[in-house]
């Protein structure tokens, strides 16, 4: 039996990326839809960065960002909601690592470890991706509860040696959900 909800809210971190169409509009729309779910609250957002494509190089530059959520959804149910929002916003899956209107990855969730094809947690490729680590570093606090994740990010950023191919695009894409348009 799959558990869809928990009585206590957990912290989760997600990565967002877009490199087709109105990239900033797609990121905003995804955040707005997540926040509209009654069991999800978007609590903090990173800056938005423009990044060189990694993996599959012959594609447009991405906008990437990260967000912190509080949710009473179980991890599988949160991922299902994220995949559903990707489809609603026009994501088509064809080329692996290829272009997409919006990509939502579940990076880390409080006290949760999974290792199935449908869900691996923490995300198995996050430590090798500056386009994930740099924005994630904006939203993970420097307090004791998050210290494991903070140390993980610091060590991973040292290993991959930096921020090459990553430029600040904008600092305020999210205003808490009140006035966001999906233009």
Ligand X SMILES: Nc1ncnc2c1ncn2[C@@H]1O[C@H](COP(=O)(O)OP(=O)(O)OP(=O)(O)O)[C@@H](O)[C@H]1O
| 175 included as an active-site residue | no
List 125, 151, 160, 170, residue binding ligand X (CB under 6 A): 125
| Site for ligand X contains 97 (CB under 6 A) | yes
119 binds, among ligand X, ligand PH2, none (CB under 5 to 8 A by kind): ligand X
Name the pairing type of β-strands 48-51 and 166-170.
Answer: antiparallel
Active-site annotation holds for 91: yes
The dihedral through the CA atoms of 74, 76, 79, 85 has a sign that is negative
Beta-bridged to residue 105, according to DSSP, are 15
Window of 19-27, 114-122, 140-148, 172-180 that interacts with ligand X by CB under 6 A? 114-122
For position 121 contacting ligand X by CB under 6 A, the verdict is yes
100 is known as an active-site residue: yes
- Burial code (b: 16+ CB inside 10 Å, e: under 16) for 107-124 equals bbbbebeeeeeebebbbe
Tokens matching residue 70 = 């509080």
Residue 93 near which of ligand PH2, ligand X, none (CB within 5-8 Å, type-dependent): ligand X
Instruction: Report the alpha-carbon distance of residue 129 to residue 35 in Å, rounded.
Output: 26
Active site residues: 91, 100, 103, 105
Q: Which residues bind ligand X (CB under 6 A)?
A: 79, 83, 93, 96-97, 103, 105-106, 118-121, 123, 125
């Amino acid at each position: 039996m799959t558990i869809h909800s928990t009585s206590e809210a957990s912290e989760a971190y997600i990565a967002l990326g877009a490199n087709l169409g109105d990239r900033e509009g797609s990121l905003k729309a995804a955040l707005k839809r997540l926040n509209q779910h009654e069991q999800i609250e978007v609590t903090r957002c990173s800056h938005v960065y423009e990044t060189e494509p990694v993996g599959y190089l012959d594609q447009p530059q991405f906008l990437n960002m990260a967000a912190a959520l509080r949710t009473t959804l179980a991890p599988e149910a949160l991922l299902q909601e994220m995949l559903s929002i990707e489809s609603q916003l026009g994501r088509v899956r064809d080329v692996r690592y290829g272009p997409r209107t919006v990509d939502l990855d579940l990076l880390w969730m409080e006290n949760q470890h999974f290792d199935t094809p449908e869900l691996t947690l923490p995300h198995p490729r996050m430590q090798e991706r500056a386009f994930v680590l740099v924005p994630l570093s904006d939203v993970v606090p420097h307090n004791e509860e998050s210290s494991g994740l903070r140390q993980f990010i610091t060590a991973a950023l040292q290993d991959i040696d930096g921020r090459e191919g990553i430029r600040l695009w904008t600092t305020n894409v999210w205003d808490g959900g009140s006035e966001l348009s999906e233009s």
